[in-house]
Amino acid sequence: MAMNVVTVFGGSGFVGRHVVKRLAQTGVRVRVAVRRPEKALFLRPMGDVGQVELVQANIRDDASVAAAVEGADAVINLVGILYESGHQKFAETHAKGAARVATASAVARVQRFVHISAIGADEKSRSVYARTKADGEAQVRAAFPNATVIRPSLLFGPDDDFFNRFASIARLIWVMPLVGTGKTRFQPAHVGDVAAAIVAAVQDPENIARTFELGGPNVYTYRQLMELVLNACARKRILVPVPPQILKIWAWFLQMLPSPLLTVDQVNMLLGDNLVAHDVAGFSDLGITPVSAEVILPTYLWRFRPAGQFTAPGTHSGHQGEA
């Protein structure tokens, strides 16, 4: 199928910027649909002059979504939120918004639709994030039966939220809280690998109507992930298990802040394993060999070391307040 125009909802985000760059490299015109195009100007140099176009669209609004998909050959929906604020509710963005984009794409006779969900999407989950992700998948499939659904695991990359956040906490305090016993298991994936998988999924018609779960090559417990972060930032900190109920009380207060460090729903998510299922297609089915967190984390978390890039590898600091 000849592909000329690909619309990317959420193209300015952490995953989106990698997807836009890779799509531009394939030579297609990339139309990035976001609420605030003025904050997405950094994407334009990722393509030739005029190749990356920015349009204003809100997946909560019918007219702007219809305009953004008009004339597109493929549509990728990356919109997702980690916490609710104002009109940005989980149900509105993950479920109704996703359904709106899929319906508009079907009406506009778009040929390929790729929807980004998340590992853990489950209508029975105790997390609203995960329940609404499951609802979004179902509504997308109902509106656009040939949609490809991609469920990534926790992601790492230079501008990630998770690993950078814990590295910055380690710089400030001596004690790092572990969720519960710290035994929840994760299979983190590199954002670049996931972007490559999304682009491969769009390009190959063999992937229509399939679901992919994308996890990295290794499984780590929550405790091991914290140890990886501390290793990459060359710091020694005490890892203290905190019972989920206590964490939820902290999170309940924290989630009142405009950009919360932790929410009760996130604690619920962190309590369940986040691993790819064995009977679902993954990276290998898209021809990608994923890179591990051990290899990539030190390449960007070095800035949290006591003396930045001048800290010799393998040295660990236990002193508070350095940096």
Say how many CA atoms lie within 13 Å of 192 toward its Cβ.
Answer: 9
- Cα separation, 299 vs 15, in Å, equals 18
10 interacts with ligand NAP by CB under 6 A: yes
**Is 191 or 234 the residue whose CB approaches ligand NAP more closely?**
191
Binding flags for ligand NAP, 109-128, as an x/- string (CB under 6 A): -------x-x----------
Neighbouring residues of 61: CB distance < 8 A, sequence distance ≥ 6: none
**Is 136 or 182 the residue whose CB approaches ligand NAP more closely?**
136
Residue among 259, 254, 232, 236 nearest 313 (CA)? 232
- Residue written as tokens 């393998």? 314
Q: What is the DSSP letter of 180?
A: T
**Which position among 20, 28, 34, 288 is part of the footprint of ligand NAP (CB under 6 A)?**
34
- Cα separation, 71 vs 135, in Å, equals 27
- Cα separation, 17 vs 52, in Å, equals 11
**Is 52 or 155 the residue whose CB approaches ligand NAP more closely?**
155
- Number of neighbouring beta carbons within 10 Å of residue 48: 11
35 interacts with ligand NAP by CB under 6 A: yes
**Is 88 or 317 the residue whose CB approaches ligand NAP more closely?**
88
Binding flags for ligand NAP, 67-86, as an x/- string (CB under 6 A): -----------xxx------
47 interacts with ligand NAP by CB under 6 A: no
Judge whether 140 and 147 are in contact, CB under 8 Å.
yes
**Which position among 6, 7, 12, 134 is part of the footprint of ligand NAP (CB under 6 A)?**
12
> Smallest distance, Å, CB 104 to ligand NAP?
13
- Number of neighbouring beta carbons within 10 Å of residue 106: 17
> Smallest distance, Å, CB 100 to ligand NAP?
10
Residues of this chain that bind ligand NAP (CB under 6 A) = 9-10, 12-16, 34-36, 39, 57-60, 78-80, 88, 93, 97, 116, 118, 152, 154-155
